[in-house]
Amino acid sequence: MKSLGELVSISKGKKLISVLDAMQNGAKRFIQIDDLRNNNNLKYTFDKGVEVNEKDVIIAWDGANAGTIGFKLKGNIGSTLARLRIKNDKIDSDYLGWLLRGKYRFIRDKCTGATIPHVNKAVLESIKVPIHPLIVQRKIASILEQADAARQKRKEANRLTEQFLQSAFLEMFGDPVRNEKGWEVSILGNHINYLTSGSRGWAKYYSSHGDLFIRIENIGRSKMFLQKHKLQFINAPVGAEAMRTKLKEGDLLVSITADLGRSAVVPQLQWDTYINQHLALIRVNEQINPIFLSNYLSSEGGQMQFRTLNKGGVKAGLNFNDIRSLKFINPPHSLQKNSLHW
């Protein structure tokens, strides 16, 4: 084991003045924070600055993304980034990059600065790095790279699935705003059998096992199924409060604070599952298919209503009356059921 400070030299980037949208002769890539995640917005510069190569590790040093790690990049870094240059030939740069990505939460939690987070250099340099043989390091890096590629493919597949489901919804039911097919418009409150919000004060019950605890992070912005990444567990207390917020298959969840109007339908559950205070639990009657309703709430017809209820961002969240007041197109139940599947 070696401390990171023994293995790398750290150099902060410099502020660059000339930033170009297209490559020109003599320019170098200007590496920004977003470039640590993807290559969607390439920029270039003629300015001399702190240069990085494919063997360096880059860390976001300041700002909201402090602690984010990138590697396999070549160019000049700006003032919010720092270069970690390996000074020990016993360390593979890809291995070190993946290891530090795994330390993101630790680095982030130890940042300094009340308004603008800054990486704590002493904390960063104190991180312990296992010194495996190079062949083992490269094998570890290769496995993690393959796993990340599989994750990205799954993310893209989920995105395409969402597009397909939204297209199928529009094809069958038409534009939910114009309602050119003339479907009946219903008020949600007339179809709710049970409505409640999640429990407050359960953070102390967080654990790595036990009962599932669904949070707003598990409700996608344009998805009608629960997102299974970042699942949190609790040891739920026994009593009426836990029973009130316990989920059943087919329950509709809607975010009621911060990013209003996310929705998802609860699938068949393997564990006892509960929700936190940022979500509302809605059980509709047998006349409404919850997947159809979630899809409608994710459409422009539903989102327009959430934006109106949010009153330009001034309102803190939705109350039960707001939820009951939501309107939705209400085709025959047979069409709702047959058009969307679990």
Query: Which of 92-106, 171-185, 242-256 is the least confident region?
Result: 171-185
Q: State which of 90, 115, 131 marks the end of a domain.
A: 131
As a whole-number percent, the residues of the chain with pLDDT over 70 amount to 89
Answer whether residue 147 is part of any domain.
no
pLDDT value for 338: 66
For range 62-68, the mean pLDDT: 90
Q: For residue 342, what pLDDT band results from cuts at 50, 70 and 90? A: very low
| Domain co-membership, 115 together with 163 | no
Q: For residue 222, what pLDDT band results from cuts at 50, 70 and 90? A: low
pLDDT value for 254: 93
Answer whether residue 144 is part of any domain.
no
Is the pLDDT reported for residue 339 higher than 60? Answer: no
Instruction: Please state, in angstroms and as integers, the Cα–Cα distance from residue 254 to each residue in 61, 164, 201, 323, following that order.
Output: 36, 22, 19, 9
- Into how many domains does the chain fold? 2
DSSP codes joined into one string, 30-64: EE-GGGGT-SSS-EEE-S--EEE-TT-EEEE-BST
Is the pLDDT reported for residue 204 higher than 90? Answer: no
| Domain co-membership, 185 together with 270 | yes
| Domain co-membership, 6 together with 82 | yes
Answer whether residue 13 is part of any domain.
yes
The model's pLDDT over 128-141, given as tens digits with 9 standing for 90+, comes to 999 999 999 999 99
Q: For residue 207, what pLDDT band results from cuts at 50, 70 and 90? A: low
Q: Identify the CATH number of the domain in which residue 217 sits.
A: 3.90.220.20
Answer whether residue 149 is part of any domain.
no
pTM above 0.95, yes or no: no
Q: For residue 158, what pLDDT band results from cuts at 50, 70 and 90? A: low
Answer whether residue 101 is part of any domain.
yes
For range 57-68, the mean pLDDT: 92
For range 36-48, the mean pLDDT: 86
8 Å CB contact between 184 and 330:
yes
Helix H or strand E encompassing 305? helix 300-310
Radius of gyration for the chain, computed over Cα atoms and rounded to the nearest angstrom = 25
Q: How many angstroms separate the CA atoms of 33 and 96, rounded?
A: 19
Q: State which of 96, 131, 166 marks the end of a domain.
A: 131
Q: State which of 98, 131, 164 marks the end of a domain.
A: 131
Q: For residue 186, what pLDDT band results from cuts at 50, 70 and 90? A: very high
Q: Which residue has the tokens 């009608």?
A: 224
8 Å CB contact between 13 and 119:
no
| Domain co-membership, 291 together with 185 | yes
Q: What is the dihedral of CA 156, 158, 160, 165, to 10 degrees?
A: -170
| Domain co-membership, 294 together with 176 | yes
Domain span holding position 113? 2-131
For range 29-33, the mean pLDDT: 89
